[in-house]
Amino acid sequence: MDIWEKKVLIDFGCFANMICASIESYDTETFGLIGGENKKNGLRLMTAPPLLSAEQGEDFVDYLACPEKYELAKALIDDLGLWLVGDYHSHPNAIAHPSEDDLITCLNDIKTVREQNISTFDWWLQLIISIERKDYKRNFKPVFIFDDDDDEIQVTVKRGKVGWKIHIMGHWCRLEELKEGDWCQRKDAKLSLNKKTYPSSWEF
Ligand SMILES: [Zn+2]
């Protein structure tokens, strides 16, 4: 079984990393790496350190602005005994589909990952987190509302008079040698939440 055929289970720790980073840097895109473990029942995503040194814009993020910090985040995942399985970035006020820039960046990523022998797998996972701010007239107690269907994850976070609509989608990019003008092979990732790692008070 190829790694892309497996269920991708997002642990609470990883989910919290990605959501906090995407909300905190809402005006610009955020970027981070993902560490996990390959289990029988699926690929568990367990941590997602954000790369705070990445150059962030409204519709771009340059994670190689500070290559030594990229190295550090990579080393951190390695020190935790996890595998580096891919990366994530946010799309503030935009859909969770890869932009044209993302597809081009992806080709450079594949080159870097291959040259530096970073990945354990033949595929690289890319998660995109679409995030949209909502303002409400009434006050909400902090609440998370999940909709986990068909390999995608949708979460609404409400807190006070502010809310966030978050949509997470993922795809696998094959780490293959590419010729000029080639696009990489891509497969949709089968995402779901690893619910047993979430606080028991949370309802799904
Ligand atoms: Zn993007």
Q: Where are the domains of the chain?
A: 3-131+166-197
CA distance 62 to 141: 35
Phi, psi (5° rounding) for residue 195? Answer: -60, -30
Query: Residue 10 C-alpha to ligand 1 middle, in angstroms?
Result: 20
Query: Residue 31 C-alpha to ligand 1 middle, in angstroms?
Result: 10
The arrangement of strands across the sheet holding 123-149 comes to 186-188, 152-174, 123-149, 83-92, 31-39, 42-47, 7-10, 190-193
Query: Residue 88 C-alpha to ligand 1 middle, in angstroms?
Result: 9
Query: Residue 175 C-alpha to ligand 1 middle, in angstroms?
Result: 19
Query: Residue 37 C-alpha to ligand 1 middle, in angstroms?
Result: 25
Query: Residue 103 C-alpha to ligand 1 middle, in angstroms?
Result: 8
Phi, psi (5° rounding) for residue 75? Answer: -65, -35
pLDDT digits (tens, 9 = 90+) for 39-83: 998 999 999 999 887 888 888 888 777 788 888 888 999 999 999
Domain 3-131+166-197 sits in CATH 1.10.10.10: no
Query: Residue 200 C-alpha to ligand 1 middle, in angstroms?
Result: 33
The residue count of the chain comes to 204
Query: Which residue in the block uniquely carries the two structure tokens 């994850």?
Result: 153
For the record, the structure tokens of 86 come out as 């891919």
Query: Residue 91 C-alpha to ligand 1 middle, in angstroms?
Result: 6
The pLDDT tens digits along the chain (204 residues) read 889 999 999 999 999 999 999 999 998 999 999 999 999 989 999 999 998 878 888 888 887 777 888 888 889 999 999 999 999 999 999 999 998 888 888 887 788 888 877 777 889 999 999 999 999 999 999 888 888 777 889 999 999 999 999 999 999 999 888 788 888 899 999 999 999 999 888 877
Contacts of 130 (CB under 8 A, 6+ apart): 90, 91, 94, 95, 96, 166, 167, 168, 169
